[in-house]
A = this chain, B = another copy of it.
Amino acid sequence: MPENHPEQFEKLCELSTRAHTLQGISSLLSWDQETYMPEMASPIRAKQCELLAELAHDIKTSSEFEKTLNRVIDIASGDIKEKGLTAPQEAAAKVYRRDFVRDRKLPTAFVQEFALVTSEAIPVWQKAKIGNDFASFEPTLEKIISLVRKKADFLGYDKHPYDALLEEYEPGCTTAQIGDIFEKVQEKLTALLKHISEKPTIGDFDIPAPESEQMEICQLLLGHIGYDFKRGRIDISSHPFSSSYHPYDSRITTRAESHGIVSQILTTLHEAGHSFYDMGRSVAAQGTPLGDPISHGIHESQSRLWETRIGRSLPFWQFFYPLLQKRFPQALVGISIDDFYKKINIVKPTLIRTDADEVTYPLHVILRFEIEKELTSGALKVKELPDRWRAGMKKLLMVEPKNDTEGCLQDIHWSMGAFGYFPTYSLGNIYAAQLFETFAKDHPDWESNVRNGQFAFIKEWLSDAVWQHGRRYNGEELIRKVTGKVLTHEPFINYLTAKYSTPN
């Protein structure tokens, strides 16, 4: 923390910390809801989340907050008014202003209703997914989409209502920008996929094991990569996630019904990547923009980097495969490390996004991006969604779900009202690839280090490049600062092409 004490700025931080504390409590309630909460508590949990959302929103849009903010930065013009701010504090003031202008556009009653409806929607979606019963989820989804469209209207937009929604997850990014990048990614990956599909594939591969053994391996892995169990923990939930409200309490979960050990390891690396970012941000700046993560896309870049660039790399398995062999000698008998590496990197279009390989994954995201745009603009009706999904899967991935459980009901996001979230998954890969290019230049020996079970240097590099800054930069600015180049899909495509075009 800087040693200057700008009075109004500090007052602002105090107020935002109160709101942040309430939002942190909400995160914990959500973690509990997904892990341990008794099922009948759902409606009560919804009420709790609604009240916390209301109270946090009240603080962030209060006249006290507005007055204080306006003494730090002119809300109308964006000019800094308080003297003596450091450069990061000036950047934070601008983020405060951006958030305030945005938050104030949403009436408290709307924020409450949104929190209530989406909290109630989650169990409805869960049941619909289990029972392959889209019709039972339809009215709820309709209500959510009408709220989402209302939200876009409240927030305002120039070109597409989806712009307003994206801004929440990826500040500074537009629908058109993402559309451009995704178009190129789709073109390149479709070509790559065609090339790969022409080769024989060897089918799915994983090592089945009881839940307790899977958890044991995840814990072992977390120990090796330096996950701090004094500040985090790992549990089981139906949909794996990371939950963080503070660097001192950042928890991850892994999947209840997993294909096996390999899938759990990759999921654990993914969630640990999120958690490292959450644990790595400034403790002193918690509750202020300088303690917050930049965006969902940058968050995802951290998880994808660990999952794909480390977890799907040969050096990682040269380190970890012998440990697995020791634990599961029978399942792995006669499988060399090279065979194993090939088996877990098979590219094959499948139905479920979270099971997808690196090449087909972005195509799952592109489908959701297209559908979200259509639902948001009103071009697609909720009742048409299952058909639209099937057609999209066929076109992009050449596979077609037999039912909605493995189709449009597979993801939790829409029940949470999180429209605008999906694109950040693939942006995460794109950011990660560009960051990793620079990382690999800074650490030309990274492969031998990882092969030796060393991981701390990766975290140090990420801390320096990304974690320490809070929201001082937005995603694009950060990429430019770290890599010296504008954001581009090229490192991502180059990586995939190099990895998957070589003869199997």
Contact = CB atoms under 8 A, between A and B. Distances in A.
B38 A36 contact: no
A235 B39 CA distance: 16
A53 to B, nearest CB: 12
Contacts of A45: 249
Q: How would you classify the secondary structure of chain A's contact residues: helix, strand, loop or mixed?
A: helix
Contact of A51 (B18, B38, B230, B251): B18
Given A38-B230, A231-B38, A251-B38, A51 B21 contact: yes
17 contacts: A18-B51, A21-B47, A22-B51, A24-B44, A25-B25, A25-B48, A25-B52, A28-B29, A28-B32, A38-B230, A38-B231, A38-B248, A38-B251, A40-B230, A44-B246, A44-B249, A45-B249
Report copies per complex: 2
A41 interface: yes
Interface in A1-25: 18, 21-22, 24-25
Given A25-B52, A38-B231, A44-B249, 19 more contacts: A18-B51, A22-B51, A24-B44, A25-B25, A25-B29, A28-B29, A32-B32, A36-B36, A36-B233, A37-B249, A38-B229, A38-B230, A38-B233, A40-B228, A40-B230, A41-B248, A41-B249, A44-B246, A44-B248
A231 B36 contact: no
A284 to B, nearest CB: 13
A37 to B, nearest CB: 7
A322 interface: no
Interface string A232-250: 1101000000000110110
Contacts of A228: 40
A43 interface: yes
Nearest to A250: B38
Interface of A: 18, 21-22, 24-25, 28-29, 32, 36-41, 43-45, 47-48, 51-52, 55, 228-233, 235, 245-246, 248-249, 251
A42 B55 CA distance: 23
Contacts of A249: 37-38, 40-41, 44-45
A230 B235 CA distance: 20
Contacts of A44: 24, 245-246, 248-249
Given A18-B51, A21-B51, A25-B52, A230 B39 contact: yes
A39 B232 CA distance: 9
B40 A231 contact: yes
Given A28-B32, A29-B28, A32-B28, A231 B41 contact: yes
A424 B235 CA distance: 37
Given A38-B232, A38-B233, A248-B43, A48 B29 contact: no
Contacts of A246: 41, 44
A212 to B, nearest CB: 10
A55 B39 CA distance: 28
A229 B36 CA distance: 11
A280 to B, nearest CB: 14
A403 to B, nearest CB: 27
A22 B38 CA distance: 19
Contact of A248 (B25, B40, B51, B251): B40
A21 B38 contact: no
A279 to B, nearest CB: 10
A24 B48 contact: yes
Contacts of A47: 21
Nearest to A249: B41
Contacts of A251: 38
A19 to B, nearest CB: 10
Nearest to A22: B51
A408 to B, nearest CB: 29
Nearest to A286: B44
Nearest to A55: B55
Given A28-B29, A55-B55, A21 B48 contact: yes
A187 to B, nearest CB: 45
Nearest to A246: B44
A431 B111 CA distance: 47
Nearest to A50: B21
Nearest to A35: B36
Nearest to A54: B18
A37 B235 CA distance: 12
Contacts of A28: 29, 32
A29 B232 CA distance: 16
A474 B304 CA distance: 59
A312 to B, nearest CB: 28
Contacts of A21: 47-48, 51
Contacts of A52: 25
